[in-house]
Amino acid sequence: MDSVVWLKDVGKDNLSLVGGKGASLGEMINIGVPVPGGFAVTAQAFRDFINRAGIAKKIFKALDVDVNQEVQLHKAEMTAKKLIMEAKVPEDIEKAIKSRYEELCQQEGKQVFVAVRSSATAEDLPDASFAGQQETYLNMRGAEEVFNAVRKCWASLYGARAIFYRVEQGFEHEKVNLSAIVQKMVDSEKSGVMFSSQPSTGEPLVVIEGAWGLGESVVSGSVSPDNFVVDRKTKKILSKYIATKETMIIRDPKTQKTVTIKVPAKKKEAVVLTDKEAIELANYAEILEKHYGIPQDIEWGVEKGKIYILQSRPITTIGNAKKAEASSSEASGKVLLTGLGAAPGVATGLVRLISSGRDLDKVKQGDIMVTKMTMPDMVPGMKRAGAIVTDEGGMACHAAIVSRELGCPAVVGTKKATTTLKDGMEITVDGGKGIVYEGRVALASSAKPAAAAAGTAGMTVSKPITATEVKVNVSEPDRAEAAAATMADGVGLLRIEHMILGLGKTPNWYIKNGKSEEYIDELAKGIKIVADAFFPRPVWVRTLDAPTDEFRAMEGGENEPHEHNPMLGWRGIRRDLTETDHFRLEVRAFKKLHDMGLTNVGIMLPMVQHVREFQKAKAIMMEESLDLEKIDVGIMVETPGAALTIEDFIDDGIDFISFGTNDLTQYTLAVDRNNENVAGLYSELHPAILKLIEYVVERCNEAGVKTSICGQAGSYPEMAKRLVEIGITSISANIDAVATVRETVARSEKILMLRALRNRD
Ligand code: PEP
Ligand code: MG
């Protein structure tokens, strides 16, 4: 039997050969839906590989563990994956994969980018769904890279999450195989989404949204798309709205990476779809809805004039909207928990209890991640989660900050989520109101998911010009494009700790293992993504500020000291000035970026409390030959100590300050920001905080030093208004809050001007 088959040659009867995903793609092609072409490496090829390589027995032996024992599960994963990654793949199988890819390239007339997706199948239950259990690799190119991605898909069959799932669901590992689907990626010149039925009422109207370039801009909502409504029955276009499309995402022909560029002037106001294309799309929407039997949410793209259907999944909003209307705006479900509504949005999903970064694989796309408190090494799981619920934390805790940035609904500080909620139970999370309900509950939530809100930020057709700059906070480099799409005036805070902690090893591990250069490169790589996206707008990068408890879970973190009050402990600049080896590596990364021409990168020092700290840091920067004339260096004002002695810092030549109100509030009011028991006392608008801010801004304005805010409070309109009145130079908000803050700033500035004019007469 062939190891590879074309997708067009398979269909719903080939589940055991190519798994559910492969069969469904084949089926789509057979019913006339233009999905991107490609081939499947069959499930039998995988089986053939492990048998002939002599690793099958070893794999299954390794998998025979108690999956509820985290350490055992982790070990099983490591052993099985290693066997797959290191065994020799029989030549005929390797050759079949590589030459089929080359054939695909020949058909396209170029080396194509492909996605390599996993499509698992069970021998005795071929239609069992293992969706989301295994991995997908996007943007693969070249026979070797594609072959390696196939091997990685095979290995992902033995990821901890997949092993756990199979045991939980009663599948025998020996009977589950994996087909790898290799599918052409579409380089869309225009793209978008469409709903086969009106998404809130369910009427038979196809709603199409489209914009220039690759689909991410419409999907993420970073651009305002054109909108067409087509009657599904008569195929008549009922309405057409042409938006001003400011930016587009394309694949850079030189680097082959995706980049956001300005839409050329000619195309900004031009209609994206022809009427013919809109009707053709509506036809496909109809076919898909009929095929699946329920309304579909579809992603499409047009490459070289040809329409492709990239994804189709059920619309979930129709039923909800209807049910919500019926039950008025209040939810009728049983309330299991309440906490702080830390990131808006509503999500229903299955509970996954997570005790450390190591069992993250349990969290599949859309699951609800429940944990005591999130740690930065949990971010990969947070990205997949439909919502996050924690026992601990206040509005400025790690879970809250990251969830808002990721656009993931979150309820923090529930005190007992990990004891009340059980693995696998279905719950509904209202991240706006801070409520967790039992089961699936229809909510007419006024709170938009933060991701959608981030979208509306990008949809601002014309951005008001404000004298006070409005910047954005970023923690994850892969959110750089979404952040840049808000058209913010720069990045007021780039947190690097998530980047570093995401490496899985502490900075000290790199230093001790002689891998300092690697660390510098990793750091520079992450920062560069954000600096590139914003160039020439300034990006203030904060040096490492991770409390010791956040390091402990990582490799190299075993000897982190146990501190009674990590928040008041060895973090920020105080740690970097005792572990100067590390600080020097950060400085070298900054130097590297500046040498590359990224002169928009500035350095911001966290947790400063005495001018001596700034002086010492500056001396090290000079020793490392950083040109302080050319690089902006500033401090975060997060301690009353720094605020009340700001003149000393000004005298010593700081270029800017930024209020870290998350910390300034906890240190001024003696309220632990991570402690839900005192969350009610935590208020950034406390008169003491405002007094400190006012004092610092006045001193800085007198001296011509720039002032900004990067704490969560900068995203609150009330605070933004006060800060404009106080005379701050810039405000840095979360991605989802930039548009609102910008509007608030514009209005507040106008009010001030009007007031001044009126007073003149
Ligand atoms: C702050 O303290 O306000 C701040 C922005 O820093 P972090 O939240 O990372 O401590
Ligand atoms: Mg802080």
**pLDDT value at position 757?**
85
Best of 403, 541, 607, 662 for a ligand 1 pocket test (most atoms within 8 Å of beta carbon): 662
Ligand number, closest to the Cα atom of 401: 1
> Quick check: 285 and 198 in contact, CB under 8 A?
no
Q: Is the CB of 662 under 6 A from ligand 1?
A: yes
Q: How far is the CA of 412 from the centre of ligand 1 (A)?
A: 17
Token pair 């049910």 is found at 323
Which residue has a Cα nearest atom 1 of ligand 1?
Answer: 660
* Three-class SS state of 367: coil
Q: How far is the CA of 273 from the centre of ligand 1 (A)?
A: 44
Task: Out of 255-269, 456-470, 472-486, pick the least confident.
Answer: 456-470
Best of 404, 475, 541, 638 for a ligand 1 pocket test (most atoms within 8 Å of beta carbon): 638
* CA angle (133, 134, 135) in 5-degree steps: 135
CA nearest neighbour of 161 among 346, 385, 311: 385
Q: How far apart are CA 478 and CA 525, in angstroms?
A: 12
For the segment 29-50, the average pLDDT, to the nearest whole number, is 95
Residue 276, exposed/middle/buried by CB under 10 A (0-12, 13-18, 19+)?
Answer: exposed
For the segment 281-299, the average pLDDT, to the nearest whole number, is 88
pLDDT per position as a tens digit, 248-279: 988 888 887 788 899 999 998 899 999 999 99
Looking from the CA of residue 495, the nearest atom of ligand 1 is 9
Best of 397, 403, 405, 493 for a ligand 1 pocket test (most atoms within 8 Å of beta carbon): 493
For the segment 473-496, the average pLDDT, to the nearest whole number, is 91
**pLDDT higher than threshold 60 for residue 670:** yes
pLDDT per position as a tens digit, 408-459: 899 988 889 999 999 999 999 988 778 899 988 876 443 333 333 333 222 2
Ligand number, closest to the Cα atom of 397: 1
Best of 545, 659, 663, 683 for a ligand 1 pocket test (most atoms within 8 Å of beta carbon): 663
And the tokens for 474? 């970023």
User: Bridge partners of 634?
Assistant: 604, 656
Which residue has a Cα nearest atom 8 of ligand 1?
Answer: 662
pLDDT per position as a tens digit, 368-391: 999 998 877 788 888 889 999 999
pLDDT per position as a tens digit, 169-185: 788 999 999 999 999 99
Q: Is the CB of 711 under 6 A from ligand 1?
A: yes
Q: Is the CB of 658 under 6 A from ligand 1?
A: no
pLDDT per position as a tens digit, 121-151: 887 776 666 766 788 888 899 999 999 999 9
**pLDDT higher than threshold 50 for residue 634:** yes
Q: How far is the CA of 663 from the centre of ligand 2 (A)?
A: 5
199 — pLDDT class (breaks 50, 70, 90)? low
> How far is residue 23 from each of residues 235, 274, 296, 630, measured CA to CA in Å?
30, 32, 19, 58
Looking from the CA of residue 712, the nearest atom of ligand 1 is 3
> Quick check: 657 and 635 in contact, CB under 8 A?
yes
pLDDT per position as a tens digit, 705-752: 999 999 999 999 999 999 999 999 999 999 988 988 998 999 999 999
385: left (phi over 0), alpha (psi -120 to 50) or beta: beta
CA 445 from chain center: how many Å? 23
Q: How far is the CA of 355 from the centre of ligand 1 (A)?
A: 24
Q: How far apart are CA 231 and CA 239, in angstroms?
A: 10
Q: How far is the CA of 712 from the centre of ligand 1 (A)?
A: 8
CA nearest neighbour of 418 among 368, 345, 364: 368
For the segment 551-573, the average pLDDT, to the nearest whole number, is 88
434: left (phi over 0), alpha (psi -120 to 50) or beta: left
Helices (H), 140-221: 143-156, 160-169, 216-219
Looking from the CA of residue 661, the nearest atom of ligand 1 is 3
**pLDDT value at position 335?**
86
Residues carrying an active site annotation: 398, 710
Q: Which residues, at least 6 apart from 751, have a Cβ–Cβ distance to it below 8 Å? A: none
Q: Is the CB of 660 under 6 A from ligand 1?
A: yes
Q: What is the mean pLDDT of the chain?
A: 88
Q: Is the CB of 400 under 6 A from ligand 1?
A: no
**pLDDT value at position 341?**
80
Which residue has a Cα nearest atom 6 of ligand 1?
Answer: 660
Looking from the CA of residue 662, the nearest atom of ligand 1 is 3
Looking from the CA of residue 659, the nearest atom of ligand 1 is 3
Q: Is the CB of 572 under 6 A from ligand 1?
A: no
Q: Is the CB of 575 under 6 A from ligand 1?
A: no
Task: Out of 204-208, 385-389, 430-434, 626-630, pick the least confident.
Answer: 430-434
**pLDDT higher than threshold 60 for residue 512:** yes
Looking from the CA of residue 664, the nearest atom of ligand 1 is 2
363: left (phi over 0), alpha (psi -120 to 50) or beta: beta
Looking from the CA of residue 711, the nearest atom of ligand 1 is 3
> Quick check: 716 and 684 in contact, CB under 8 A?
yes
Q: How far is the CA of 367 from the centre of ligand 2 (A)?
A: 30
Q: At what angle do helices 717-726 and 738-760 cross, to 10 degrees?
A: 40
For a pLDDT cut of 90, what percent of the chain falls above it?
Answer: 56
Ligand number, closest to the Cα atom of 665: 1
Q: How far is the CA of 319 from the centre of ligand 2 (A)?
A: 42
Q: Is the CB of 179 under 6 A from ligand 1?
A: no
- Ranked by mean pLDDT, the top range of 278-292, 443-457, 475-489 is 278-292
315 — pLDDT class (breaks 50, 70, 90)? low
Q: How far is the CA of 492 from the centre of ligand 2 (A)?
A: 13
Q: How far apart are CA 18 and CA 121, in angstroms?
A: 8
Ligand number, closest to the Cα atom of 674: 1
